[in-house]
Structure 1
């Protein structure tokens, strides 16, 4: 695939338009899946520990196979990698939906299927980051990331709220079924992209490819420093938000309101993404890192047992901040890293960012049992805010320029 014209509306680019459409339909279903799965497991097991185990089962294979996913994303056509991974995700989610809808829930079966989904994601994420420059070219990366970020979070506005309603009425399995269908539709869109005729970027062995990616990753202070800090932030934030969040919300604001809160957060990210299409900070990464501090606000609200309005307000501000950060990080990587190594470096980013998440997902339930869920959420929020600010002490982060 080759980037098309650089002038005019970005969606006139045929390849990007098909890719954009595929992401739209896939993310529409995926926005419903976390809420549906969380409450479906809680309903079936009434155990925060079981929910943490299911979430960890998804994340562990993502960690194990993410480096392999980076090598594959640089050695093979990224379109093909994404096509296969989306087909696999659609099939596995369809099986999850069948088990939940038919009442044949068993913890081991969900653990296995979520492990399959995590494995597929390990190959999807590096290819997604690497394919965007193939489609639009370097000079339109920020705009492309802004559009993709907008659609990603626009789907999260209605998706979690709809999932909350479905969980309360029909059960979470139906939301998972919708996710399965959208994965398959997205695969159809990806199939419309023209196959790349470019040869593999390297003829070295996979191990040599990994070493080359590692050398490039560790040679850039701004990359590894942010990844290291966010590795700890994700340990805290993901475990608290995904495991304790629904648990606290069920006792305070309710399942449907929790879905609305997630939708409000997505609204904030959508507004930020749309704004970033036009606004071009010269020190894009530093601005994004500062805005990312807002990620801690909803944890603080949970810890303080805030009512629905305060929790929603915290989620909105968090969405605004993390929306700016997401585009800043994606664009900075795509602009300043070698394109032929982008998937491999992205895989090291994913590994560092995700490696501690399963431990966080498994640890929060016993920590909450010992110290109280609210106390764990409050402490985690404070630590997240401090850790996100740490990279700004580095001149390589503050001085990185956009464009």
Structure 2
């Protein structure tokens, strides 16, 4: 019989992240959600194009989700630092299933309109804003500090595997029976993921100001200020976030809005799904590489490799041929995965756990805030100046932003692998104020 006074992490004896049951459930739930979510952007893009044929309308729909996501993210971080994360993930998964099921029903019934799709995108973006900080910040509660890098690599590897399968099946499904069924697949995957999130039991302590059923003594604004101090006090954090404000705006605008237009004008929708799947193959290969390659200056290397993600955009602009684009997207995925693993490890190892979700929310707001600008602007700019110049401009933004971040000393010199004094760690009985004690 397991000792009820010990956490799942203390009971785990087998080396590696899979020794922890909460990690295994987290991995399963997130992979299933990704399986359906990979098809959703492709399905939504072609649903809008089938409806109006307008890149401007497509930009408005995808930007609606992004705007809502950014608007709610900071509050999502506060909520995730104050509530049991597994229960929060159950609720957000079921809410996401409901919004995507509504979109699928509208598309399948032929009653979809741009305003309705924008409204449901807003709701879906708000739900995702609460889910993201919780799902990212729960990782260090499921594994020991020494297992953070392999845990993040395994998570991303599994998520990318789900994305490969989801994008491929989604592309075939969309081409065969229409985008509505791709959206229905997404709704079903969220519902199933919600069931598995219920088993991600991690230690959680009621915050001191909520003990004994008392009313909260700290305001939301105070908690946001605490998170901001953690975020802004580390130069390497806000510099990389500023880099990705530009990188994400350029990349998402180019791929999510202009990519489907290029596909419709050249190689076709089914091939576009396979090209996106090639990127996820690159991400999966990058995850395998990250499991074995553990450089001390992983963040600086990852930031430099972000430059490689300009290659797929240049390919779309100059040589929209399927074989070349498959290779370019694959290489881009492999490169960006080195950054992703290094970034998660750097945050989880250097930010205190009781503030980690809020720092993740500031990271997400900064990184995502310009995405709606990119999504909204690329359509009108391409209409005025042509698709090729706009795509090349997006590639240039990625390169210049990455070079600027790489020139910062703290980004290049940050080391990972050896836990620091304020490293994120699961609570133990010796912690004087454990942030997340057992239920």
TM-score interval, smaller chain = over 0.9
Instruction: Show the counterpart of 1:293.
Output: 307
CA–CA separation in structure 2 for the residues paired with 1:213 and 1:225: 16
Say whether 1:86 aligns with 2:87.
no
Cross-structure match for 1:137: 144
Q: Is 1:208 matched up with 2:225?
A: no
Moved over 4 A (4+): none
Structure 2 residue aligned with 1:235: 249
Query: Is contact 2:142–2:202 with CA below 8 Å preserved after alignment?
Result: no
257-266 or 296-305: which moved more? Answer: 296-305
Residues 1:39 and 2:46 aligned together: yes
| TM-score normalised over the length of structure 2 | 0.89
Whether the aligned pair in 2 keeps the contact of 1:2 and 1:134 (CA below 8 Å) is no
* Unaligned runs of at least 5 residues, structure 2: 1-6, 210-216, 418-439
C-alpha distance in 1 between matches for 2:184 and 2:117: 14
Higher share in helix: 1
How far is the alpha carbon of 1:201 from its aligned partner? 6.9
* 1:368 corresponding residue in structure 2: 382
Matched, 1:3 2:9: yes
The change in CA–CA distance for 1:40 and 1:370 in structure 2 (over 3 A counts) is: same
1:15-30 to 2 correspondences below 5 Å: 15-30=22-37
Tell me the residue number matched to 2:373.
Answer: 359
Partner residue, 1:50: 57
Matches of 1:383 and 1:275, distance apart in 2: 27
Structure 1 match to 2:277: 263
- What is the DSSP-based 3-state SS (H/G/I as helix, E as strand, rest coil) of the residue aligned with 2:276? helix
Alignment partner, residue 59 of structure 1: 66
**Equivalent residues in 2 for 1:1-400, closer than 5 Å:** 3-4=9-10, 5=12, 7-194=14-201, 196-200=203-207, 203-400=217-414
**Contact 1:6/1:140, CA 8 A, preserved across alignment:** no
Conserved 8 A contact 2:267-2:322: yes
CA displacement 1:12-33 (0-9 Å, x = unmatched) = 3211111111111111000111
Cα distance in 1, alignment partners of residues 90 and 125 from structure 2? 16
* Cα separation, 2, equivalents of 1:50 and 1:137: 46
Q: What TM-score results when the alignment is normalised by the length of structure 1? A: 0.97
Shift of 1:297: 0.8
Change (3 A) 1:46 1:201: farther
- Encode CA deviations 1:72-96: one digit per residue, 9 max, x unaligned: 1111111121111101001111111
CA contact (8 A) 1:231 1:355 kept: yes
Decide whether aligned partners of structure 1 residues 86 and 171 sit closer, same or farther in structure 2, where only a CA change above 3 A counts.
Answer: same
Secondary structure in structure 2 of the residue aligned to 1:3: helix
Shift of 1:197: 4.1
Deviations 1:355-378 (A, max 9, x none): 111111110111001110111001
State how far apart, in whole Å, the 2-side matches of 1:345 and 1:108 are: 33
- Superposed displacement of residue 305, structure 1: 3.4
Give the RMSD, CA atoms, in angstroms. 1.4
Alpha-carbon distance change, 311 to 30 in structure 1, aligned in 2, over 3 angstroms: same
SS at match of 1:277: helix
Q: How far has the Cα of 1:101 moved from its partner?
A: 1.1
The answer on whether the counterparts of 2:33 and 2:189 sit within 8 Å (CA) in structure 1 is: yes
The 8 Å contact of residues 248 and 371 in structure 2, kept in 1 or not, is answered as yes
* Contact in 1 for aligned 2:275/2:329 (Cα 8 Å): yes
C-alpha distance 219-2 of structure 1, shift in aligned 2 (>3 A):
farther
| Cα contact 1:298–1:314 (8 A) shared by 2 | yes
Name the count of aligned residue pairs.
403
Is the 2:141–2:203 contact (alpha carbons within 8 Å) kept by the matching residues of 1? no
1:43 Cα deviation from its structure 2 partner: 0.9
Tell me, yes or no, if structure 1 residue 402 matches structure 2 residue 416. yes
Post-superposition offset of 1:159 = 1.9
Contact 2:22 2:202 in 1 (8 A): no
How much has 1:158 moved relative to structure 2? Answer: 2.5
